[in-house]
Amino acid sequence: MSKTATIIGGGHNGLVCACYLARAGLDVTILERRSIVGGAAVTEEFHPGYRNSAASYTVSLLHPKVISDLHLHDHGMKILERRVNNYLPLSSGDSLISYPDANQFHSEIARFSAQDVRQLKKYNETLDAVVPVIKDLMLVTPPSIVDHGFADISRYFHLSKQFRKLNTSQKRLLLRLFSISAGEMLDDTFESDPIKALFGFDAIVGHFASPYAPGSAYVLLHHLVGEVNGKQGLWGHSVGGMGAITQAMAREATSLGVKIELEAEVENLEISHKKVQGITLKSGRVIKSDITVANVNPKLLFSDLIEASDLSGDTKSHFDTYKCQSGTFRMNVALSALPNFAARTAPHVLEAGIIMAPSLDYMDKAFTDARLGGWSQQPIVEMLIPSIVDDSLAPAGHHVASLFCQQFDPSLGQNWDLHREKVADLILNTVEEYAPGFKQTIIARQIHSPWDLEQKFGLNGGDIFHGRLSLDQLFSARPMLGIGDYHTEFKNLYLCGSGTHPGGGVSGLPGHNAAREIIRSL
């Protein structure tokens, strides 16, 4: 008789993990508390006739091995590449446009600084050397080290074949990236504010901190390791929204015999003799399983689903202070027409990620304002308009736009209910400054404050990564030293979510890696 495995949480990593476990012969069940599978990677109709990705909204980090192993293209997944990477409109009326083609991009940068064109080539050479190391290590199970520090990190890097190819200065730089700020790195490299802003935006996405916060250089690096259709460093759109990806995963899972139970919210785990004896649902039903796999935020697991008396003192104290705080505010808007930006444009720029944050100082002030007053009066906004390339999302001639906004204090908790609409208006006013007339085209809006993201998707503190990407919460220390290898202190309880290595983003790698370790332990 095959062993049973129950996965708590039907987000993309849970689906990935389920597929690998089922293929290995386990009898797998997924428990999802919502009425739809996919976690934060779902497509929703937020106004009649208007659909969009509700939370996660763009594709790059989804690993090609996961795509191939789960036959996602065969199950209908289709990713379109952006013809323009990013568009940075400026209040001066000028703009910086980032193209996938290097020569086009160099011409853009030369408009602001000839020196920065030369610096960009050095910058890219540096990243081209270190990014393969990070990609290599993303597929590795971190060793369960107990001492923390750069010596341990260095030993961990030696697990990567790519790391061994680096010269001494490249190794030194890679280690430095985990301690310095993105602002410091970019200020040391470039002279033009728009260029620094364009690259620096990646350092504060899902990171409630200034771009000058130590360690933010790694957050930037984390966003550079992806690819689309085999092309490195690109971002793309999933036709049908992000939910099309998780629905493709669900089809693969069910074809392998995985049972998916919707509206099956877990109340707690019954623990005895350091082993999960049962999973109690809100309905009162108790599920027995040989193996339990948690695809939820580890803070939620260890603080809410397991009794404190069942935890070691070390585990309890660690997760009492575990850092979950993206500072993300997420909106969708239905539009009667495309926005018209006052700044210089070019063909296809509205297909890009449109970044409304013109400098690192602007981003730094946004964080300072949010820390002191809850949110910035000049928010950081990235807009995507996927309906330009995907007409399945809106009625003919109409559009939907994603607004991904940074630096909103998650510690306000439920008090966000008092401020949600006012802050949404502030965000739309910010877009209006760049695209006059934008607000008149809005038909409807869907608003997710940090508190809404927590309540709806289980993202504690609105944290899209299930935990801050900082040195004390990376690699073997993600989510805690001693359990960075997807095991826990309980004999049959494993972790497979974004709170484990290699972290957040729709990559599928936490689910992939966790399944490998579970299968090895059988």
Q: What whole-number distance in Å separates Cα of residue 399 and Cα of residue 264?
A: 34
> Facing residues of 281 across strands?
266
Give pLDDT, residue 172: 82
Which of 28-42, 209-223, 255-269 has the least mean pLDDT? 209-223
- Tell me the per-residue pLDDT of 465-513, one tens digit each, with 9 for 90 and over: 999 998 889 998 999 999 999 999 999 999 999 999 999 999 999 999 9
Q: Indicate the pLDDT class of residue 113, thresholds 50, 70 and 90.
A: very high
Q: Indicate the pLDDT class of residue 149, thresholds 50, 70 and 90.
A: very low
- Which two tokens mark 56? 């996660």
Pairing of strands 291-294, 375-384: unpaired
| Spans of all domains in the chain | 4-39+240-323+466-521
Give pLDDT, residue 381: 98
- Tell me the per-residue pLDDT of 194-244, one tens digit each, with 9 for 90 and over: 999 999 999 999 999 999 999 999 888 888 888 888 888 889 999 999 999
Give pLDDT, residue 158: 67
Q: What whole-number distance in Å separates Cα of residue 477 and Cα of residue 480?
A: 4
Give pLDDT, residue 151: 47
Give pLDDT, residue 150: 45
CB 157 within 8 A of CB 137: yes
Q: Given a cut of 60, is residue 78 above it in pLDDT? A: yes
- Tell me the per-residue pLDDT of 400-431, one tens digit each, with 9 for 90 and over: 999 999 999 999 999 999 999 999 999 999 99
Give pLDDT, residue 146: 61
CB 406 within 8 A of CB 462: no
Give pLDDT, residue 153: 59
- Above pLDDT 90, what percent of the chain? 83
Q: What whole-number distance in Å separates Cα of residue 138 and Cα of residue 156?
A: 12
Distances (CA, A) of 40 to 381, 455, 465, 512: 19, 12, 11, 18
Pairing of strands 43-47, 50-53: antiparallel
Which residue type does 108 have? E
- The H-assigned helical ranges of 225-300 are 243-255, 298-300
Residue bearing the bigger pLDDT, 325 or 249: 249
Which residue type does 223 have? H
Cβ-based neighbour number of residue 246 at 10 Å: 30
How many Cα neighbours within 13 Å face the side chain of 517? Answer: 26
What is the arithmetic mean of pLDDT over 139-153?
67
- Above pLDDT 70, what percent of the chain? 97
- Tell me the per-residue pLDDT of 269-290, one tens digit each, with 9 for 90 and over: 999 999 999 999 999 999 999 9
Give pLDDT, residue 326: 87
Burial class (CB in 10 A: 0-12, 13-18, 19+), 254: middle
> Facing residues of 27 across strands?
4
Q: Given a cut of 80, is residue 152 above it in pLDDT? A: no
Give pLDDT, residue 466: 95
Give pLDDT, residue 1: 66
Listed residue (63, 178, 77, 99) closest to 347, CA to CA = 99
Listed residue (423, 171, 454, 458) closest to 301, CA to CA = 458
- Tell me the per-residue pLDDT of 345-382, one tens digit each, with 9 for 90 and over: 999 999 999 999 999 999 999 999 999 999 999 999 99
Average of per-residue pLDDT values in the chain: 94
Give pLDDT, residue 325: 85
4-39+240-323+466-521 maps to CATH 3.50.50.60: yes
